[in-house]
Each structure stands twice: as C-alpha cells, then as structure tokens.
Amino acid sequence: MLEKLRVKREEVRNAVHKTEKKNKDNHEKVKTGRLKQTEGSFYDSGAKKLAANNKIQEQKYIENDVKRGLRNSNGTGVVVGLTHIGEVIGYEKDEQGNKVPVEGRLFYRGYDIQDLVNNVLLEKRFGFEETAYLLMMGDLPTRKELNTFNDLLGDHRELPSGFARDMILTAPSKNIMNKLARSVLALYSFDDNPDDVSLSNVLRQSMSLMGYFPAIICYAYQAKSSYYDKKSLHLHDPIRELSTSENILRMLRPMGEYTEFEAKILDICMMLHAEHGGGNNSSFTTHLISSTGTDTYSAIAAAVGSLKGPKHGGANIAVINMIRDIKEHVKDVGKHSALDDYIVKILKGEANDRTGLVYGMGHAIYTKSDPRAKILKGMAKQLAESNDRIEDFVLCDYIERRTPELYAEVHGREILMPANVDLYSGFVYSALDIDTDVATPLFATARLAGWTAHRLEEIVNGGKLMRPAYNSVQERRDYVAMEDRKSR
C-alpha cells in the first residue's frame, strides 16, 4: 500500500512538473517573441537616432583643425612620440613640406630589413627569433645570447597545464583572432605576478607570450575546424627545439609534415611582419594602453583587437579572396584582355567585394616601393616554382604591373601605387596551404615581437598617461521636463 502511494505521489509530482514546464515554455515563447519584436523595433529606430545625433559635419573638422585619423592634411601621420624600434621611409619632403616619392626602406633598430634578411638567407638559418631579440633588446644577439633566448622561448612553447583543454578546445570561436585575444587575457590568471610592470617582469611575460602564441593560434584553428567545419581534430604538441615557423606548420597541418624550405619561407614572412614603426594602429595601441600602467596581458590583448580590424590586419586575407574571385570569373587568367576587363570592374566597384580596391596595391606611407614586397616577391617565386603554383604567382605579378595603368584609365589620374607586402604574403600563405582563418593570427604572432618592444619602450620612457583631446561641437540645451518631451 505504501509503495502504491509513493508511486502515485511521484506520478502526480511529475505531472505537475510537466504542466509547470509547459506553462513556463509557453510563457518564454511569448516573452521571447515579444522581446524580439521589441528589440528589433528599438534597435532599428535606435540606429537611426544614433546616426542622426552623432553625425558631425565635415566642415566642423576643418574649422577645428582636427587631424582626423591622426593624419595631417597631406596624409602623413601626426607625430605623437619617438622610438628606437622601427623606422619606415616611404618619401622625403622638399623645402615646402611636400612629399617627394622615394624607394621604400624599413629599419629595425637602425638595421635595414634587407640586410637582416640577406644575412639569414646567406647563412641558411631561421631569422625570426633573432629579429625578435633585436626588436626587444635593442642589439643583435651574440650566438650565446640567441641560444639563451631560444631556450627560454622553447620553455614556453607548451601552454600551461589544462589551458588548451579548458580555454580553447571547450570554448572554440569562429574567429581565431577573437580566441587569441581571449586566451591572452586568460593567461593573466596563470601568472603568479601578473600586475608587476617592472622591466624584468614584463620581459618575462613577453617571452612567455611569444612562446605561447603559436600553440594558441594553431589549437584555436583546430578547435574551430573541428567544431564549426566538422573536420577531424588534429593536435600536435609543440617541440621546444623547433623554430617558431616550424612549430606553426607542424601544428597546423594534419600530419605535422613540412619542408625546411616551407618553414624558412614562413620565417621570412614573420621577419617582415615583426615591426613597422610605432605609428601603425596596433603598435600605437600598445603604447596607449601601456601608458595607463596596466598589465601586459591587457595591453597585448588590446593590440590583438586592433590588428583584428579588417582595415589593419586583414589585407592579406582580402588578397587571397580577391585572387580566388578573379580566377572564378576569368576563365583564362593568361588572357590579358579579359584580365584587364575584370580588374577594371574591380576598380569601378563592380566586382569582387565592390569596394573599388585592388588589394595588395598601394600603401599609406610607401610611394615608389614597399621593401617587404620586393623581398617577399623573390621568395614567393621560388615557392611557386616548387609547389606548382606559378600561374598564381604570374597573376600577382601582372596585378602589380598593370593595376596602376588601369587605375589611371578608370579615374583619369596617375598615382604611385606600389605592390605592398600583402600581395605576396597572401600568395605565400595560400601556396603553403595555410587557411585564410590563420592569416591574421600569423601576422599577430610575428607582430608580437614589435608590440612587446614598444610596450617595454613605453615603460622606460613613458610616465604620462596618454590623453588626446576632443573638442565638443554640441550646442548647449535647456532641460526639458518629462511631460514636455517629444520623440524625434
């Protein structure tokens, strides 16, 4: 009898719970439907109000002598600081202050990037780690100093225990840069002394991040590919004795295979992307955030967020996608008349992404040439010949030579439009079978050397919180009582 009563009570309890759940679900459906309708209406009308209430007329910027985008009227950057780390030369100035085009040059700590690359090629070794040491420490390392540096990087190739599982694999992201930024912030919790901004501690943190980045981006890519693209999950442990580029290729590829030539091509790419003067957006972000006295993880995560922006770090992806689009629409890319017609369509905003931009062409600073593109072009040709991708290389070369002429025809004016580093780095990544999802994270892994150098430089020389000024153009208004207000 007692057992029957217990069973009956359980049945009643289950029935009540089922009814309550059904009522709750119905209520949630009604609430969700109402909420979605309210949200849609609020957000759509709110967007219009935001656009109207925040729009500032162009004339106001002129009247207030505002350097929009921190650029002078002639397109040059507003000087906001001094640096030892990198120097970009894209033009000279005449007596009237006008730009005079010159062949581009890039210097790391006073050394010409061409000399750095040539020496690495001559000695047939990897050069990114030496470049990172130079940028961070200020001098070229001795063999002993470089060995110590590489040993320390090797000690940090493997992520902290449980980090890959808990922070990356169980919470994958569709965007690798998003996961990289989150992972950098999460590493704060694994640091016993995260907020100490002494030079020795920041140097330690910088070294650990440089060691960790390859594993983070590669595991994040594998997690994304498995969870969202339904591909097999391939995880390879980093090897402490391998270079940065070797570890990246090993961890990206399903079987971990790569050739020494491929690794050294990627190594040159990383050398060329490691630094580009303090004026680029992400390096400036590093100075800006570091001036607050915040921790290394917050500063570097902010730099990653800056580079994630398609106007800054996504150009090599745009090149890859553009080349793919051209090949889809021009059946024979060797037929120059058809290729010209399609490039003209791109320039007119009628093809590709309809922005009117031929990606990989032109630069904000370089006028006659981008030294990085010149170096990488030679390496790209060798890669194309070895990987049977010569057609794609010839296409990039044709785009470089022909685009300025077609631009003049379309727009009725001639401008200097050299190939920039993204034209050939995009090709290199594609030829190395590196997914476009990883292109900007690779950029970040290389540029981390420059970011950490700029953070250390800001700590040494800073002392003042960066605080730019904005002039208010909002007219004064009298307060309006609630009952007298009208919606606009």
DSSP 222: H
Whether 337 and 287 map to the same domain: the answer is no
Whether 174 and 206 map to the same domain: the answer is yes
Q: Rounded mean pLDDT of 106-120?
A: 98
Whether 267 and 125 map to the same domain: the answer is yes
For residue 261, what is the domain's CATH number? 1.10.580.10
pLDDT at 33 over 80: no
Confidence of residue 12 (pLDDT cuts 50, 70, 90): low
Whether 286 and 142 map to the same domain: the answer is yes
Whether 302 and 353 map to the same domain: the answer is no
Give residue for tokens 């050398």: 271
Whether 329 and 305 map to the same domain: the answer is no
User: How high is the mean pLDDT of the chain?
Assistant: 92
Please tell me the distance from the alpha carbon of residue 93 to that of residue 475, in angstroms, as a whole number.
40
The reply to whether 13 falls in a domain is no
Task: Name the domain boundary from 391, 413, 431.
Answer: 431
- Comparing 95-99, 240-244, 326-330, the range with the smallest average pLDDT is 95-99
pLDDT 10s digits, 63-73: 898 888 888 87
- Helices marked H in 69-198: 113-123, 128-137, 143-155, 163, 176-187
pLDDT 10s digits, 200-229: 999 999 999 999 999 999 999 999 999 999
pLDDT 10s digits, 227-266: 999 999 999 999 999 999 999 999 999 999 999 999 999 9
> Who has greater pLDDT, 2 or 299?
299
The reply to whether 441 falls in a domain is no
Q: Report the chain's terminal Cα–Cα distance, integer Å.
A: 72
- Comparing 32-46, 108-122, 435-449, the range with the smallest average pLDDT is 32-46
Whether 176 and 239 map to the same domain: the answer is yes
For residue 409, what is the domain's CATH number? 1.10.230.10
pLDDT at 120 over 90: yes
Confidence of residue 9 (pLDDT cuts 50, 70, 90): low
The reply to whether 52 falls in a domain is no
The reply to whether 67 falls in a domain is no
Confidence of residue 95 (pLDDT cuts 50, 70, 90): confident
Whether 321 and 304 map to the same domain: the answer is no
Q: How many domains does the chain have?
A: 2
Please tell me the distance from the alpha carbon of residue 250 to that of residue 131, in angstroms, as a whole number.
21
Question: Does residue 321 come out as left (phi exceeding 0), alpha (psi in the -120 to 50 range) or beta?
Answer: alpha
The reply to whether 128 falls in a domain is yes
Task: Name the domain boundary from 256, 285, 309.
Answer: 309
Q: Rounded mean pLDDT of 71-89?
A: 87
Q: Is 357 helix (H, G, I), strand (E, B) or coil?
A: coil
- Comparing 134-138, 149-153, 427-431, the range with the smallest average pLDDT is 427-431
Whether 291 and 337 map to the same domain: the answer is no
Range of 182's domain?
86-92+102-309
| pLDDT, position 67 | 86
The reply to whether 43 falls in a domain is no
pLDDT 10s digits, 43-63: 888 888 888 899 999 899 888
Tell me, what amino acid is at 355? Answer: T
The reply to whether 390 falls in a domain is yes
The reply to whether 221 falls in a domain is yes
Question: Does residue 404 come out as left (phi exceeding 0), alpha (psi in the -120 to 50 range) or beta?
Answer: alpha
Host H or E run for residue 22: helix 2-54
Task: Name the domain boundary from 278, 309, 340.
Answer: 309
Whether 139 and 285 map to the same domain: the answer is yes
The residues, any chain, with a CB within 8 Å of residue 188's CB and separated by 6 or more, are 194, 295, 297, 298
Whether 279 and 328 map to the same domain: the answer is no
pLDDT at 1 over 80: no
Please tell me the distance from the alpha carbon of residue 385 to that of residue 362, in angstroms, as a whole number.
26
Whether 213 and 302 map to the same domain: the answer is yes
pLDDT 10s digits, 261-290: 999 999 999 999 999 987 899 999 999 999
pLDDT 10s digits, 332-343: 998 999 999 999
Give residue for tokens 């922005």: 355
